[in-house]
């Protein structure tokens, strides 16, 4: 499974973050980046299965979960978001993946304070801590790969820069009714000690989607992808989110460097609002 060598869990973060972080970083946004009321609560858990193929057969290869908790960090009330991805045991002998991402986000202005990456993929281990100085618009990173020395870096960010995990939840708080079909919405992304300021997503409208949980009314997007990660320039990713107050990602489809990937929702627990987008249960 070649795609694991390109970090399958980062794929899912790309997929969710690119397609849901649909507000730009510019001087016009307010201090809270024009976010609406939080559409999640402490205890929410959403899980996915990741499928991979090189032909007509889709093979379940990994599981991913996202959780929300309330926490304190340096005496600040925070959301603690956690994403965890693991290959299924039957695929560990091919390429074992055990990735964890965590971020602490101020509940007042929804800006990240601390972001952690702890990934183990095959023989490669990466641990990174990132600290955000939102007053000075700076991000400080401390990264260690395998047994190498720590690498320190400082990156200039903007007033609404978010790490990829925070972006997933920030975007769920947006009013998607403000956009028209085929609108291109600029985005800016902080990932692996770099800022990507000139990306965009295209809003594709609304659609009914069949999932393992039932049929949903959905919002649909297509993002521009960053080449050189696990994507080629020009690749097309499509994402569907529930068209209700929760705005939960339900399906991601994308080609990658070798083959294609789907991330399909398997379970939604402790959602804040009723899943009013659910048309029919299975």
In degrees to the nearest 10, what's the CA dihedral of 24, 26, 29, 34?
10
**Residues 211, 278: Cα–Cα separation, whole Å:** 10
Position 122 scores a pLDDT of 86
> What global pTM score does this model have?
0.84
Dist CA 193 CA 215 (whole Å): 39
pLDDT tens digits in sequence order for the chain, 282 residues long? 333 344 455 555 545 544 443 333 332 333 445 566 778 999 999 999 988 886 778 888 889 999 999 999 988 899 999 999 898 988 777 778 899 999 999 988 888 999 999 999 889 999 999 999 989 999 999 999 999 999 999 999 877 777 878 877 877 776 777 888 888 766 666 677 777 666 667 788 999 999 999 999 999 887 766 555 555 555 467 889 999 999 999 998 877 767 778 899 999 999 999 999 999 997
The total domain count for the chain is 1
Q: Give the domain extent around 120.
A: 2-281
At 117 the pLDDT is: 93
Compute the C-alpha angle 149/153/155, nearest 5°: 160
């Amino acid at each position: 499974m070649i795609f694991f060598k390109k970090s399958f869990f980062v794929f899912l973060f790309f997929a969710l973050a690119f397609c849901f972080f649909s507000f730009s970083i510019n001087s016009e946004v307010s201090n809270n980046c024009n976010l609406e009321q939080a559409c999640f609560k402490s205890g929410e858990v959403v899980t996915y299965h990741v499928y991979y193929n090189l032909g007509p057969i889709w093979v379940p290869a990994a599981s991913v979960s996202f959780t929300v908790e309330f926490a304190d960090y340096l005496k600040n009330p925070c959301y603690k978001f956690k994403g965890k991805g693991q290959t299924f045991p039957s695929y560990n002998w091919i390429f074992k993946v055990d990735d964890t991402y965590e971020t602490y986000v101020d509940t007042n202005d929804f800006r990240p304070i601390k972001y952690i990456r702890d990934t183990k993929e095959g023989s490669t281990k990466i641990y990174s801590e990132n600290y955000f100085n939102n007053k000075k618009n700076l991000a400080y990173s401390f990264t260690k790969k395998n047994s190498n020395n720590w690498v320190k870096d400082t990156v200039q960010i903007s007033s609404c820069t978010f790490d990829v995990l925070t972006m997933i939840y920030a975007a769920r708080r947006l009013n998607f009714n403000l956009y028209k079909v085929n609108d291109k919405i600029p985005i800016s992304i902080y990932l692996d000690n770099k800022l990507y300021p000139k990306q965009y997503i295209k809003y594709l409208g609304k659609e009914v989607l069949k999932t393992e949980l039932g049929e949903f009314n959905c919002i649909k997007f297509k993002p521009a992808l960053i080449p050189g990660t696990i994507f080629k320039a020009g690749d097309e990713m499509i994402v569907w989110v529930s068209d209700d107050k929760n705005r939960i990602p339900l399906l991601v489809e994308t080609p990658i460097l070798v083959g294609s990937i789907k991330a399909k929702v398997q379970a939604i627990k402790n959602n804040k609002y009723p899943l009013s987008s659910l048309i029919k249960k299975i």
